[in-house]
Amino acid sequence: MGKDVIIACDFPTREICLDFLDNFKDRKPYVKIGMELFYATGPDIVREIKARGHSVFLDLKLHDIPNTVKSAMAVLRDLGADMVNLHAAGTISMMREALTGLTRPDGTRPLLVAVTQLTSTSEEIMQQELLIPHSVESVVLKYAENAKEAGLDGVVCSPLESKVLHSALGSDFLTITPGIRFDDGEKGDQARITTPAKAKELGSDYIVVGRPITRASDPVTVYERCVNDFVE
Ligand code: C5P
């Protein structure tokens, strides 16, 4: 499994998304489809982007009772996504059922990764509001251990957590890391950020980059800069 740059295609309509992807002629980037685009367009957007030659990470972060997640995953597996995700907070039992639902009759399945704690949740909020009386680091590690125990392929986490998770859970346990910015770019609402080069150094397996590429005047050049710094 090679390292790759995943573009977060957080667009409100199919047309805007496909116009954006038309910029890329030579290399077909790995695309992340999140809730906004999926709910606005429906499941066909996954098939359409796959048919254009892209790999797809379907970022819908499922979290429900185990049986419901299993049934929903059985629907998602047939859309052709290469990677899907859920919340590790749904428990080991939910994650196991999700894997069952995702597995095709021939035994193949998309990669399944878990969100541990959202990077938008501060330690203070986690402790005071969610009543989880631990450090974010220890909760992220525990949720990642649960994901591994359930048989998942990896987690979505901050690049700053990749190193710890790889040493605890093995280098083949994938870390998919958003929160990527260039030193000379805008942070937006992301707090714990690193550059593509730093994410590579920390051992991220995939970086997820949204606005630095999607809002650039020349998205292809910024994407290529990410690939150069992270993959090559
Ligand atoms: O625009 P930006 O580069 O901040 O996009 C990051 C993408 O990664 C967004 O689609 C966001 O939903 C997603 N994400 C994140 N933090 C997480 C999980 C997902 O930023 N913990």
The tokens for 150 are 């359930």
DSSP string for residues in 26-52: SS--EEEEEHHHHHHH-THHHHHHHHT
Write the CATH number for 151: 3.20.20.70
Residues 80-132: pLDDT tens digits? 999 999 999 999 999 999 999 999 999 999 999 999 998 788 899 999 999 99
Q: How many domains does the chain have?
A: 1
Please tell me the distance from the alpha carbon of residue 93 to that of residue 121, in angstroms, as a whole number: 24
How remote is the CA of residue 208 from the centroid of ligand 1, in Å? 7
Q: How confident is the model at residue 232 (pLDDT cuts 50, 70, 90)?
A: confident
Q: What's residue 67's pLDDT?
A: 98
Angstrom distance (rounded) from CA 42 to CA 37: 8
pLDDT at 190: 63
Give me the active site residues, please: 61
For the chain, the residue count is 232
Q: How far is the CA of 106 from the centre of ligand 1 (A)?
A: 33
Tens of pLDDT along 174-195? 999 998 999 887 766 666 689 9
- Structural domain of residue 8, as residue ranges? 4-230
61 pLDDT band, cuts 50/70/90, is very high
